[in-house]
């Protein structure tokens, strides 16, 4: 896409938003309700396209589409709950309140590994909040992107047949324009970052991408939501239910072939159970079904491309050179690899980095305080978890003295979040929050309104300013 085409698309998004922002929020919710139904009807086809683009296994792809459907359900309810507060005024016969208004055009930049869900987290909220969206997908996600745009346009057509919106909004309103796709690589993402017409830039991808784009948005005082890399750990206590823990470890470490932002990368095990856990894991890893992502029995599909495979192999080679013990990790063929377990005595530079591959670093801990330090020492702060049935351990880990991540789970692995909570992480993960809870507020602007219904004009803080 060239810059001229990009500008045309952004201008269309602006024009559509200028009208859409005035539609009653529950009407906006009705559009999203219909879109959710459309996604339901097309779930199987969408999931196959997610597999085609991202190479994740079909079960996970279906889960990803379900996440988009769940977002629609959530946002329909939200469309009647975009609440502001009323605050007591210090002045007699005055009323103070806040009202949330639509923001404008929202730019969405997304990564290859969640080509449908991440867009949905942003788009669905943005639309219900009265905005339009300019979406730059990963260059690897164009099949699913095209289909989602097609379903969006189809839903809009159906919606306009049944709603009063068209009559109230006028014919010049092209509702399809509320979603614009701008295909391209880094340059297109930079146009979005630099573009003052785009009021919020929600960018998902590597920390390097966030560090490149955030200063550009900041230079024009724009808003960002940054959802960047993770380096997620599990603390495995001697008080854990090991059967549950093993299932969680394997799902989180090898799911999406280790290419989730929330993948389990570091397993910090109490020394008393270390040998038993590592032996059990090696047995499970030996029997993992690796193969065609469309086969429902497969647990591990291929990596995204040859570059990702090469990167994994070079990191494993570096691990061997550093004296870490590597189990598995071999290339089977093409982009199919065996997930690896790497035993490390202490964390080092290589462990501190997010390698987007199925490599699980395992290590021992003696005290829980020490394990928490190990969890927190990395620069990323996305997801973390503890497996324990000991209340004190669980409470400490979730307290302010515990994990410093945005997501902190007890007896659940670090990956596989529900849409109802705010999703995101601290530090090099970028600090953004998307999806549930009150994440919607970032897609709106807050107006504080004070009304005087008295016959006088008292000033705040009791200031005297008499002009007679």
Q: Which tokens belong to 422?
A: 């705010």
- Among residues 230 and 402, whose Cβ is nearest to ligand NAD? 230
Q: Is 81 helix (H, G, I), strand (E, B) or coil?
A: coil
Select the residue interacting with ligand NAD from 17, 384, 429, 442 (CB under 6 A).
Answer: 429
Query: Minimum distance between the CB of residue 254 and ligand NAD, rounded to whole angstroms?
Result: 16
d(CA 397, CA 384): 9
- Among residues 110 and 155, whose Cβ is nearest to ligand NAD? 110
Select the residue interacting with ligand NAD from 109, 201, 315, 394 (CB under 6 A).
Answer: 109
d(CA 213, CA 419): 26
Q: Does 354 bind ligand NAD (CB under 6 A)?
A: yes
Q: Does 358 bind ligand NAD (CB under 6 A)?
A: no
Q: Which parts of 193-232 interact with ligand NAD (CB under 6 A)?
A: 204-206, 209, 212-213, 227-230
Query: Minimum distance between the CB of residue 279 and ligand NAD, rounded to whole angstroms?
Result: 30
Query: Minimum distance between the CB of residue 265 and ligand NAD, rounded to whole angstroms?
Result: 10
d(CA 458, CA 361): 65
Q: Report yes or no: 55 and 255 within 8 Å, Cβ to Cβ.
A: no
Select the residue interacting with ligand NAD from 16, 57, 217, 261 (CB under 6 A).
Answer: 261
Q: Does 382 bind ligand NAD (CB under 6 A)?
A: yes
Select the residue interacting with ligand NAD from 6, 35, 100, 112 (CB under 6 A).
Answer: 112
Tell me how many residues contact ligand NAD (CB under 6 A): 28
- Among residues 21 and 311, whose Cβ is nearest to ligand NAD? 311
- Among residues 260 and 364, whose Cβ is nearest to ligand NAD? 260
- Among residues 24 and 63, whose Cβ is nearest to ligand NAD? 63
Select the residue interacting with ligand NAD from 31, 38, 111, 344 (CB under 6 A).
Answer: 111
Q: Which tokens belong to 14?
A: 């602006």
d(CA 353, CA 239): 29
d(CA 115, CA 363): 33
Q: Does 121 bind ligand NAD (CB under 6 A)?
A: no
Radius of gyration of the chain (CA): 25
Q: Which stretch binds ligand NAD (CB under 6 A): 4-12, 32-40, 57-65, 181-189?
A: 181-189
Q: Report yes or no: 268 and 346 within 8 Å, Cβ to Cβ.
A: no
Residue with tokens 């854990």: 240
**Crossing angle, helix 58-78 and helix 25-41, to 10 degrees?**
160
Pairing of strands 264-270, 232-236: parallel
Does residue 72 have an active-site annotation?
no
- Among residues 265 and 364, whose Cβ is nearest to ligand NAD? 265
Query: Minimum distance between the CB of residue 118 and ligand NAD, rounded to whole angstroms?
Result: 6
Set 60, 62, 67, 227: catalytic member? 227
Find the residue with minimal CB distance to ligand NAD: 205
Select the residue interacting with ligand NAD from 114, 159, 285, 440 (CB under 6 A).
Answer: 114
Select the residue interacting with ligand NAD from 133, 165, 189, 394 (CB under 6 A).
Answer: 189
User: How buried is residue 82: exposed, middle or buried, by Cβ count under 10 Å (0-12/13-18/19+)?
Assistant: buried
Does residue 385 have an active-site annotation?
no
Taking alpha carbons only, the member of 116, 118, 126 closest to residue 65 is 116
Counting Cα atoms < 13 Å in the Cβ hemisphere of 401 gives 8
Angle CA 237–327–61, to nearest 5: 75
Set 72, 129, 261, 385: catalytic member? 261
Query: Minimum distance between the CB of residue 194 and ligand NAD, rounded to whole angstroms?
Result: 11
User: What is the DSSP code string of 199-220?
Assistant: EEEEEES-HHHHHHHHHHHHHT
**Crossing angle, helix 58-78 and helix 43-54, to 10 degrees?**
120
Angle CA 138–338–331, to nearest 5: 80
Q: Which stretch binds ligand NAD (CB under 6 A): 8-16, 41-49, 63-71, 112-120?
A: 112-120
**Torsional sign, CA 136, 142, 144, 147:** positive
Select the residue interacting with ligand NAD from 3, 83, 185, 366 (CB under 6 A).
Answer: 185
Q: Which residues bind ligand NAD (CB under 6 A)?
A: 109-114, 118, 136, 138, 185-186, 189-190, 204-206, 209, 212-213, 227-230, 261, 354, 356, 382, 429
Hey, which residues are catalytic here?
Answer: 227, 261
């Amino acid at each position: 896409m060239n810059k001229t085409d990009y500008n045309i698309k952004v201008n269309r998004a602006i024009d559509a938003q200028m009208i859409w922002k005035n539609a009653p929020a529950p009407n906006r919710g009705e559009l999203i309700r219909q879109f959710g139904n459309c996604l339901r009807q097309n779930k199987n086809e969408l999931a196959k396209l997610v597999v085609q683009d991202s190479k994740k296994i079909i079960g996970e792809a279906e889960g990803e589409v379900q996440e988009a459907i769940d977002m629609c359900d959530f946002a329909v309810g939200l469309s009647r709950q975009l609440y502001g507060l009323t605050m007591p005024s210090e002045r007699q016969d005055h009323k103070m309140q806040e009202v949330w208004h639509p923001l404008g055009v929202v730019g969405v930049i997304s990564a290859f590994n969640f080509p449908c869900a991440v867009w949905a987290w942003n788009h669905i909220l943005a639309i219900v909040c009265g905005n339009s969206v300019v979406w730059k997908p990963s260059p690897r996600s164009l099949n699913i992107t095209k289909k989602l745009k097609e379903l969006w346009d189809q839903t809009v057509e159906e919606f306009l047949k049944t709603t009063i919106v068209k009559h109230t909004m006028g014919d010049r309103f092209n509702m399809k324009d509320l979603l614009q796709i701008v295909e391209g690589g880094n340059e297109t993402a930079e146009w979005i970052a630099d573009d003052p017409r785009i009021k919020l830039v929600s960018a998902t991808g590597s920390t390097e991408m966030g560090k490149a784009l955030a200063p550009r948005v900041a230079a024009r005082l724009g808003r960002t939501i940054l959802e960047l890399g993770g380096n997620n750990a599990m603390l495995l206590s001697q008080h854990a239910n090991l059967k549950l823990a093993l299932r969680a470890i394997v799902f989180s470490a090898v799911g999406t072939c280790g290419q989730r932002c929330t993948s389990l990368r570091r397993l910090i095990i109490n020394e008393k159970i270390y040998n038993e856990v590592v032996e059990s894991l090696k047995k499970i890893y030996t029997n993992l079904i690796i193969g065609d992502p469309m086969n429902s029995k497969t647990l591990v599909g291929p990596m995204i491309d040859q570059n990702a495979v090469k990167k994994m192999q070079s990191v494993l080679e570096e691990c061997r050179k550093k004296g870490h013990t590597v189990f598995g990790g071999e290339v089977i063929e093409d982009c199919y690899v065996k997930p690896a377990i790497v035993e490390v005595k202490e964390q080092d530079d290589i462990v501190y980095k997010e390698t987007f591959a199925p490599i699980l670093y395992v290590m021992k801990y003696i005290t829980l305080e020490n394990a928490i330090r190990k969890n927190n020492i990395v620069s990323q702060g996305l997801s973390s978890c503890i497996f324990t049935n000991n209340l004190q351990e669980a409470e400490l880990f979730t307290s302010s003295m515990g994990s410093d991540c945005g997501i902190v789970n007890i007896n659940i692995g670090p990956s596989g979040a529900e849409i109802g909570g705010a999703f995101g992480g601290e530090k090099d993960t970028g600090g953004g929050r998307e999806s549930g809870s009150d994440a919607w507020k970032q897609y709106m602007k807050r107006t504080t309104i004070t009304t005087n219904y008295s016959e006088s004009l008292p000033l705040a803080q009791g200031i005297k300013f008499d002009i007679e």
